[in-house]
Amino acid sequence: MRDTRRLRLPRLSIRSLPGLLAALLLPLGLLTPAAAAASPPDATAAADPVRIMPLGDSITGSPGCWRALLWNRLQDAGHTGIDFVGTLPPQGCGIAHDGDNEGHGGELVTNVASQGLLPARLAATRPDIVVMHFGTNDVWSNVAPDRILAAYDTLLAQMRESNPDIRVLVAQLIPMNPATCAACAQRVVALNARIPAWAAGAHTSRSPVVVVDQWTGFDTATDTYDGVHPDASGDEKIAARWFPALAAQLGSTPGDPGDPGDPGDPTLTCTASFRSVSVWQGGYQAEVTVRNTSAAPVRGWTVTLRPADGARVTQVWNGTLKSAADGTATVADAGWNGALAPGASTAFGLIATTAGPAAPAATADCAATPAS
């Protein structure tokens, strides 16, 4: 005989319904709005990449193979959260890299400023950092340094309007010595000598402006194919100069050279070598190369320079100068170029005045700063 008694179900209160619904919906991948709000944030969500704009003319963009070398060097050092940006696409080089850039062949920085070309490019790419080597065509066109630096002012104001926290790395231009412009070599020297003071006046703590010396140690005879544009050797040098300054803006990562060593690191040592670059009546330009000769990284360095024959160092770039009454010059690192891995080197440039005919010469001693 069939049992006709009713099956009694437990009575559910209204208060218990949300919990039951959540239990039923969870296997289906659905959550009520309240439950979704209570979920913890995804800890694996990637931060936005740092957007880096290479800005300039054909030296930057056509094809600008130093960008490929720089990109891969940054990746190898652990700086993977970056994005090179620009309205121009990659232009070859045969090396896998993020090739977006803002290097327009033939452009003058003064024209870009006067014609208002940069704001639209900034709006399309929204860079956090600008890496700028700009002015070679202006120098070739005999545009005065005052006008070039005024164009830098305009571009910097436009960058800060686009992003008040933008960081700018500005190059002292690589040398140029084209067959059709005998005066270009000295014009580059004249512009480069003005850039550090311009940068110092433009720098702010919120939007820093950092000078990167691309001129010192670059030889148009071996590092360009036409006296202007870099060849493979020149690309290597340009990338090597940009790397420490850009890495410093990105912050340290475990793969960076120059990570602090243990307190038990051996004695830190460095050397400084002096090299004359050019000479004129009453003065000369020189380069000092600083090398970490110890087995541990150094976090900074100071060079004591004693010029021969009464010469006086009057200007330094990529370093901080202090001069004594007897003519001794003390040059400390500029911050971004202080950290050196074992065997690594950097350089600073200088201008000295002389009382009369004298061959450029100086003794140079180096002291390394230990990791703090």
Q: What's the pLDDT tens digit per position in 288-320?
A: 999 888 777 888 999 999 998 889 999 999 999
- pLDDT of 5 reads 39
pLDDT of residue 267: 64
Q: Give dist(CA 330, CA 305) in Å, integer.
A: 6
Q: Which DSSP symbol is given to 230?
A: B
Unique residue bearing structure tokens 């070398």: 69
- What's the pLDDT score for residue 72? 93
Mean pLDDT, rounded, for 104-130: 98
- Contact between 212 and 169 under an 8 Å Cβ cutoff? The reply is yes
pLDDT confidence band for 372 (50 / 70 / 90):
low
> Residue 172: what residue type?
Q
The two tokens of residue 342 are 């074992």
What mean pLDDT comes out for the span 104-113?
98
Per-residue b/e over 317-351, b at no fewer than 16 CB within 10 Å? bbbebeeeeebbbbbbbbebbbbbebebbbbbbbb
pLDDT at 52 over 90: yes
- Residue 35 pLDDT: 35
Q: Which of 269, 280, 274, 370 is nearest to 316 (CA)?
A: 274
**pLDDT at residue 336, as a whole number:** 85
How far, in Å, CA of 316 to CA of 303, rounded?
Answer: 12
Tokens for 207, please give them.
Answer: 């939007």
Q: Mean pLDDT over all residues of the chain? A: 83
**What does the buried/exposed string (b/e) look like for 47-86 if buried means 16 or more CB atoms within 10 Å of the residue's CB?**
eeebbbbbbbbbbbbbbbbbbbbbbebbeebebeebebbb
The residue among 195, 206, 147 whose CA lies nearest residue 172 is 195
Structure-block tokens of residue 105: 């062949």
Instruction: Write the pLDDT tens digit of every residue in 53-90.
Output: 999 999 999 999 999 999 999 999 899 999 999 999 99
Report pLDDT digits (tens) over 143-175: 999 999 999 999 999 999 999 999 999 999 999
The pLDDT assigned to 41 comes to 39
